[in-house]
Amino acid sequence: MVSVLFVCLGNICRSPMAEFIFKDLVKKEKLQVKFKIESVATSYEEIGNDMHQEAKRKLQENGIPYEKRKARRLTKEDYNKFDYIIGMDSSNIRNILRIIEKNEKNKVCKLLDFTKNTRDIEDPWYTGNFTKAFNDIYDGCNALLEYIKVNNVI
């Protein structure tokens, strides 16, 4: 079993898109029973809220299934429950480290660290560019799955 927790600021745009894109990739490889995949926020702003309408639209456009959900905040306890804790940008990483306090097992990284061109995934909540966010997240999720297939026993 490999467990992956995607993290962003609000848990209504980027990390839930990553959650559903990654679930779809994993399902297409018939690996879904081997994975636990969730997403959370570092802030309290959107707790309890469903995914942003534009994020849903992007998933729909690309034929990726999603479910109604409620944003939840990262807790210190999540650190022991997941193998990979994956932020979308450098600010997410700073906030994650503040919440979990210790990262002794080096579980925290940015999604695009798994690609050849490590960088931040810009927040579409501020940029309005859900297409760019979707494309970056899609690339990151593909690279993450390849990394896990090589580096984890699944």
Residue nearer to ligand 4NP on the CB measure, 65 or 128: 128
Strand order of the β-sheet with 35-41 is 35-41, 2-8, 84-87, 108-110
Residue 35 binds ligand 4NP (CB under 6 A)? no
Residue 54 binds ligand 4NP (CB under 6 A)? no
Instruction: State in angstroms the smallest separation of the CB of 51 from ligand 4NP.
Output: 9
Tell me whether residue 109 is one of the annotated catalytic residues: no
Set 8, 13, 109, 141: catalytic member: 8
Site string for ligand 4NP, 11-30 (x = CB under 6 A): xxxx----------------
Tell me whether residue 14 is one of the annotated catalytic residues: yes
Measured N-to-C along each axis, helices 130-151 and 14-28 cross at an angle, to the nearest 10 degrees, of 50
Instruction: State in angstroms the smallest separation of the CB of 95 from ligand 4NP.
Output: 10
Among 2, 6, 10, 112, binds ligand 4NP (CB under 6 A): 10
**Under 8 Å CB-to-CB from 121, ≥6 apart: which residues?**
14, 88, 89, 110, 111, 112, 133, 136, 137, 140
Set 13, 14, 89, 136: catalytic member: 14
Distance CA 154, CA 134 (A): 27
Q: What are the backbone dihedrals phi and psi of residue 97, each rounded to the nearest 5 degrees, phi first? A: -65, -35
Set 24, 78, 89, 123: catalytic member: 123
Tell me the β-bridge partners of 144.
none
How many degrees, rounded to 5, is the angle at CA 116 between CA 65 and CA 64? Answer: 5
Enzyme catalytic residues: 8, 14, 123
Binding site for ligand 4NP (CB under 6 A): 8-14, 43, 45-46, 123, 125
